Amino acid sequence: MYKAVWARMRALVCKVRLRAARGVRGDAGMVTSEYAMGIVAAVAFAVVLYKVVTSGQVSAELQAIVKQALDARM
């Protein structure tokens, strides 16, 4: 197992060296603009979900489910 781990590490190091030699940079995360777009999308989804949950019909159904669960007898 030690030899397999050593071979894998050597392959990864060689891969990193090749990328560095070529000047290729790996993007490992999001930039600020991507974070901003992700936050805007999350807020928009939250607003839509809030509107759906607080609508009359959905609110009544949720209340009925909770009432039924509380009235259940074991």
Whether the CB-CB separation of 27 and 19 falls below 8 Å is answered with no
Q: Residue 12's pLDDT is what? A: 73
* C-beta of residue 62 within 8 angstroms of C-beta of residue 53: yes
Rounded CA separation 4/8 (Å): 6
Does this model's pTM top 0.75? My answer is no
Q: What is the pLDDT of residues 5-21, one digit of tens each?
A: 777 777 777 666 656 55
pLDDT range class, residue 43, cuts 50, 70, 90:
very high
Residue ranges in 23-55 assigned as alpha helix (H): 32-53
Position 28 scores a pLDDT of 63
Task: With a cut of 80, say whether residue 69 has pLDDT above it.
Answer: yes
Distance CA 39, CA 45 (A): 10
